[in-house]
Structure 1
């Protein structure tokens, strides 16, 4: 004979403990709250339930599982049943309400997960790996990465992308030192690209950078080292150990960009023809760049290769010239430049003391490493070198001789002229090091060539 499927008794702790499993599930209904009961399964599992009809007799009977005994106490489950009864009284189906709440909770958790995955730091990594324009050079990507790492991520790294506001970005820009307008401008440009990409993909509703005025461009620098300062720089570099001593020497000898010299590989060099071919992937304009090696550059490279004065020995076939790890080019340019400045000042004060002057009165006007290129260009003009040749030597990408119609029709590479210009510059540096003054150490290229029986132009 089958056991009774229901029983009526106030659902208390004692009643629940005394409720035994039967061969079929059964319910102990509570005498205090209508529809509240204890469901006992044949396995012995006991759960609190609330049973109801939404709409009165004739409507479908529904059963809401409150939870297992142990997780819920009888009194706690009864209070929950009362709340469910109030919902039913208002015409709200507790099961539907529970389903909606679970869905809302799941959506909220999904949004929290998405927010965690969409922090600025993680999104910046995604943008750098897949959001840059096709053809973006690795060096450019590295510069973007450094800008974000140094100026943006420290402030926004853990913040969800969707929560970043205009004031957050203003704070980032304001944190860039006032005396670094170029850094502020590139920081703005990198953030603009990143947030424009995010908005275009629908990862954010709007670009938070909209409405923020782009920082003003940095004033063009006009700092040029005079002959006395150039002599000090060359003497100081010659006395520095490698890699930075030869590195600074080669910058002054060739007038090329800091990063291009720092990343120089022996495979780019040809000793027999005294040439350096900067490959397109390392060139700012994405085109191979031919740099003749003058006597000063050749001496620096021979010394690095350990074959100075030995014309029979060859340079290494490959490998970085300026490295401390053997795998990556040198960095830490600011520290190297500080050592160069200190060496220049020491030499200048020693010279002053030898001349009977007070060495403490000697100071050197601050200058940047990029000013070396401007110094080379300015001295080219003093040497009578054509503007187009200067542009070609420095590999300028936006000069008048390399833009517009000239860029289309002017395909001459100025190979011979560049060679003559850089050798004239090497000779000029030698004269400076020999102690000539500003007024008597400049020999125009045409005059120099005529005196040697050669024609440079």
Structure 2
């Protein structure tokens, strides 16, 4: 511990030390405010309490490795290593955090942690948005990710008692400019299902159909294997990590679910399974219960990004549909919500709470009117 630690004891009431019974104990590190607290008692008691306060804080500084010259980059790397060592975060999350830390360190890594101000944060985020990292201007939604990670780092520094207050506290993240998700009109949705059905011999089309007909996430669709086909349902117990391609648990415990099988999905899988077996056999691969439902041209599990890129290329040109894969999940859940009860919707979607419907289920004025008519019929008015 190299920082100089000093204590002040000041009155908060009374006209003299003898009459005062409320005191403020303040600690300074290298002349800068570090921590403070109130104390009730006599002046002598306040002085003794201040000495204990100072000693305890000095020990905290020693254990936390306080260094007045520690840079943001040095502390950010410590923060990242802690997350790695904790084992509480997915590998994909750690990689995403590392990318954000690398970008932040490029624009503010040399700043002393203890001297960082709000203006430093504002300038850094503006620089990142303007292209200081990759040379191109970034969308607000991307900059929001940097803001989130920077806030997590500086909040940790506050908890470590290396700084008194986070300079990010009064910096709002930029407003999101990501396109609002929407559901396809029903006639366009059903036409898409018909068009994809006509391509059942294509693994990409099968993957998109599984999403559009069952509301799966694409990481869940590519994780499915033939032993997840239960005959009358799909066992959605796993997902595939995008960066590593490794199997992992679903997004949340609620994501582990069995999606009831519709006749359309049953027919899809019954036709696709022998087609896939024939294609795999031509490459010397035997189809087994552990074979992924969606395979690439080499007979291996198709990557979620491959499915994403295929849909991005052919969705507009081949099917005339301008939506993301995730919006196909939105579309399915929107129309499912019109015919099912709220808790069935929650279970099939794999949500942890029903309030997620506010994000995924989109407004339909006619459905709202139909609901009110059904209510009127029920009460006989």
Question: What is the TM-score of this pair, normalised by structure 2?
Answer: 0.53
CA distance in 2, matches of 1:179, 1:233: 33
2:212 is matched with which residue? 252
Q: Deviations over 1:387-439 (max 9, x none)?
A: 3322222122232599xxxxxxxxxxxxxxxxxxxxxxxxxxxxxxxxxxxx9
Give 5+ residue unaligned stretches, structure 1. 1-110, 349-363, 403-438, 445-457
2:305 is matched with which residue? 331
1:344 is matched with which residue? 318
1:146 is matched with which residue? 96
Deviation at 1:250, TM superposition (A): 0.5
Task: Go from structure 1 to structure 2 and tell me whether the alpha carbon gap of 1:135 and 1:252 turns closer, same or farther (over 3 Å shift).
Answer: same
2:288 is matched with which residue? 316
Higher relative contact order (CA 8 A, sep 6+): 2
CA distance in 1, matches of 2:177, 2:73: 36
1:385 is matched with which residue? 340
Deviation at 1:252, TM superposition (A): 0.7
Q: How does 1:103-252 map to 2 (within 5 A)?
A: 118=74, 122-123=77-78, 125-130=80-85, 135-136=88-89, 138=90, 141-143=91-93, 145-146=95-96, 148-149=98-99, 153-154=102-103, 156-157=105-106, 159-160=109-110, 162=112, 165-166=120-121, 167-172=123-128, 181-201=140-160, 207-216=166-175, 221=180, 223-238=182-197, 239=199, 242-252=202-212
CA distance in 2, matches of 1:124, 1:319: 40
Contact 1:119–1:161 under 8 Å retained in 2: no
Q: Deviations over 1:357-401 (max 9, x none)?
A: xxxxxxx5x32222212211232244x322332222212223259
Q: How does 1:30-41 map to 2 (within 5 A)?
A: none
Q: How does 1:44-55 map to 2 (within 5 A)?
A: none
- Equivalent of 1:294 in 257, 262, 272: 262
- Equivalent of 2:323 in 367, 376, 397: 367
Task: Go from structure 1 to structure 2 and tell me whether the alpha carbon gap of 1:332 and 1:171 turns closer, same or farther (over 3 Å shift).
Answer: farther
CA distance in 2, matches of 1:259, 1:397: 17
Contact 1:195–1:209 under 8 Å retained in 2: yes
How many residue pairs get matched? 264
Deviation at 1:263, TM superposition (A): 2.8
Larger radius of gyration: 1
CA distance in 2, matches of 1:212, 1:399: 31
Contact 2:207–2:307 under 8 Å retained in 1: no
Task: Go from structure 1 to structure 2 and tell me whether the alpha carbon gap of 1:277 and 1:231 turns closer, same or farther (over 3 Å shift).
Answer: closer
Q: Secondary structure at the match of 1:388?
A: helix
CA distance in 1, matches of 2:88, 2:193: 38
Question: What is the TM-score of this pair, normalised by structure 1?
Answer: 0.46
CA distance in 1, matches of 2:235, 2:257: 8
Deviation at 1:213, TM superposition (A): 1.2
The alignment yields a C-alpha RMSD, in angstroms, of: 4.6
